[in-house]
Structure 1
């Protein structure tokens, strides 16, 4: 059964993350915790399906203020597929050197901020632009993606380096280079990608570690609560408090 094959493949990736990436996740979480403790941001950026882990972490039940999503509409999940903002345009845009520089101009940054980037391949120009600009501004750059599988790939940016080579800390998503993992009879291409699942896994492993570090330091977290739990009469107030804190902090970033 192909469903079971995909599930086994996904579990295999998660197991590999657990056995090989815990220390790297701790290093990344320490950097992020330092930024949040100082009242600064962990900015998050990705393209295509690599925007999904960004959308997952905040605003999200169980997430907390400190993570600032930078999601550029033409580079996000493309539901039109063809026509306006379709797949062809997305593939072109993510490879255009200089586009990431323009994206960065739309926000204010502090050298105590952290830039957290997601990229399966680590070779496309927009992500590399963002990483280079972040480093110019003094920020630490954290990259999550399939680092081991990126070795030897052709870089599409004039700097000649992959996104992983520019990072201060890398967490390998452990997803295979081709992403899809299940062979289908009578077809050349596989089905059943695992990179999004790998990103979501590493996101919550990281965010929970950041929360643990900050709680141990005595830092108050503004957590996004569930507002659908019967009997929790204060959830709306806690949600309001979290959103007000986000609004207060984001004013310096825009």
Structure 2
């Protein structure tokens, strides 16, 4: 016997929720997405670098911007392994709350005045995220945050400082709920299925697309990767990377 799918299935409700949130982003966040895209286009035109950072699951959005078919070649993600989940998930949670780590990460990575930094954090409350954003601002970078305003405003920042949304130059709200998980399942006590990654990926790719549009309109030739899995892809990417 086959299961009968219904409109109230949790999986269907999750997909509908993501669709609704992306529409909310379009309806409410377009002005700040456009502002972010102008900053990124200016960075491309000025040969500045675009950095991207997130801890825990948010690091996936930093990788979403990096070495991607149809993505910008001028992106340098800040990928500190201790803050990712594959080695030790509980350690990554402890490290993202560690004061002083952000400055060391930024020193090791290397940034310059005029660069752009994307910071991804659904809660925007942990020290490594807030300290990184603050330090980047001191060093002359434009900081673009992708965060949940609802979640962030419902919690207190750790370490007694400020939230990411209070530190960034540009704040894009992913419109997510407190706790990120979005779907209620009858008979189960907690909501399931987070939205921040799916909606965050849509946001960053909207910024990429719009920034390329702005760059082309300004006579700037964007450096954009092709898929390595089309016949011409390797040659295009080798030329971008100076390997041809």
| TM-score, reference length from structure 2 | 0.92
- 1:20-57 deviation digits (Å, cap 9, x = unpaired): 00001001111121122110111110011111111112
Conserved 8 A contact 1:128-1:157: no
Residue 167 (structure 1) shift:
0.9
Count of aligned pairs between the two proteins: 235
- 1:68-92 deviation digits (Å, cap 9, x = unpaired): 111110112x23xxxxx42221111
User: What CA distance in whole angstroms lies between the structure 1 residues aligned with 2:159 and 2:21?
Assistant: 29
Q: What residue in structure 1 maps to residue 102 of structure 2?
A: 100
Conserved 8 A contact 2:32-2:172: yes
Equivalent in 100, 122, 126 of residue 120 of structure 1: 122
User: What CA distance in whole angstroms lies between the structure 2 residues aligned with 1:227 and 1:102?
Assistant: 34
Instruction: Name segments (4+ residues, structure 1) moved above 3 Å.
Output: none
User: What CA distance in whole angstroms lies between the structure 1 residues aligned with 2:188 and 2:228?
Assistant: 46
5+ residue gaps in structure 1? 80-84, 246-254
Equivalent in 5, 14, 29 of residue 21 of structure 1: 29
Q: What residue in structure 1 maps to residue 6 of structure 2?
A: none
Q: Is 1:173 aligned to residue 181 of structure 2?
A: no
Q: CA RMSD in A?
A: 1.4
Conserved 8 A contact 2:50-2:76: yes
Conserved 8 A contact 1:64-1:242: no
Conserved 8 A contact 1:119-1:144: yes
- Superposition map of 1:1-254 within 5 A: 1-76=9-84, 78-79=85-86, 85-158=87-160, 160-229=161-230, 232=231, 234-244=232-242
| TM-score, reference length from structure 1 | 0.88
5+ residue gaps in structure 2? 1-8
